[in-house]
Amino acid sequence: MARLATVTAEAGAHVVPCCFAILNGGTIVSAVDGKPKSTTALKRLANIEQHRNVSLVVDHYADDWSELWWVRVDGNARVIASGKNYELALDALANKYSQYRDHRPQGPVIAIEPLAWRSWESSPQSR
């Protein structure tokens, strides 16, 4: 599970949880899936159409703080609704998530081209 941050038209932050997969070339993909949503005109898609800059954060929390870690990717995103890259993204997501094998997403895919990776993990001395 990750959290995707996009930039709104008003230059604010918009953050949503998402599933993701990483393609062989390093592109990170996430699909608009069939889970209930209040609208199909998702703000994250409109935001990406206006501002390609996004951040994706994946983290691990544990009551034992010596096990904490996170990874953040900053990059440029685009929305893909069809074609070869769309199908490759859905295949990668289906390989990672059994739910997507059972119910292949029908919505668009967000593809993120990483520009910078940042990470942190708890100090080895505290383990």
**What are the structural domains of the chain?**
2-120 (2.30.110.10)
pLDDT at residue 82, as a whole number:
96
Better-scored residue on pLDDT, 68 or 35: 68
Q: What is the pTM of this model?
A: 0.90
The average pLDDT across 2-11 equals 96
pLDDT, averaged across the chain: 93
Starting from the edge strand earliest in sequence, which strands make up the sheet with 53-60, in order? 13-18, 2-7, 53-60, 69-80, 109-121, 28-31, 21-22
Confidence at 1, pLDDT banded by 50, 70, 90: confident
Per-residue pLDDT band for 124 (boundaries 50, 70, 90) equals low
